[in-house]
Amino acid sequence: MSPASTNVTPQWDNHLHTLLVVEDEVLIRLAIADYLRECGYKVYEAVNAQEAVAMLQSPEVVVDIVFSDVQMPGDMDGFALSRWIRANKPGVQVILTSGVERSANMAATPCVAGPLLEKPYPPQDVVDRIKQLATRVGRSDRGKR
């Protein structure tokens, strides 16, 4: 094998992972989505849980990780969205974020992929959490969604 044909698998390839950011506050959503795109992720955006469900149900959209606020307008909050995802899209990982202490305490349940990210959160914390979850989302998992 010549050096030119050596194939080195990168330790981290952000382009393998697609994220869905669910946040009703537009400036927060734009800032987070923009930062995640700069980190190399493909990012979809939804303003509430209903939009998130519509995206996740679309056959043209494949999402690996959902990053969602807990408190959002509409019939579904972030916890309800997380439960919907576990029931309907089990291969999709979820990160929840909240500025409410009570919500943070409620997060200590098996419904979410880990503790809540409390607002305000540094954008790099989001990337670090995504990297942790992404190790659970392999290429082989994508077909199960």
Partner 1 sequence: MSAASVTTFPRRIPPTILVVEDNVLTRSAISDELRAHGFKVLEASSADDAITVLDTMRVDLLFVDIHLPGTQNGLDVARHVRTNGMVTRMIMTSSLSEASSIPDLDDLGPFIRKPYLISRVIGLVSESLGWPDLPRM
Return residues touching partner 1 (CB under 8 A): 26-27, 30, 33, 37, 44-47, 51, 54-55, 58, 61
Smallest distance, partner 1 to C-beta of residue 2, A = 34
Q: For residues 67 and 104, which CB has a smaller minimum distance to partner 1 in the complex?
A: 67
Smallest distance, partner 1 to C-beta of residue 44, A = 6
Q: For residues 55 and 127, which CB has a smaller minimum distance to partner 1 in the complex?
A: 55
Q: How far is CA 22 from CA 94, 103, 139, in A?
A: 11, 16, 24
Q: For residues 7 and 60, which CB has a smaller minimum distance to partner 1 in the complex?
A: 60
Q: For residues 45 and 125, which CB has a smaller minimum distance to partner 1 in the complex?
A: 45
Smallest distance, partner 1 to C-beta of residue 60, A = 8
Smallest distance, partner 1 to C-beta of residue 95, A = 20
Phi then psi for residue 113, to 5 deg, are -80, 0
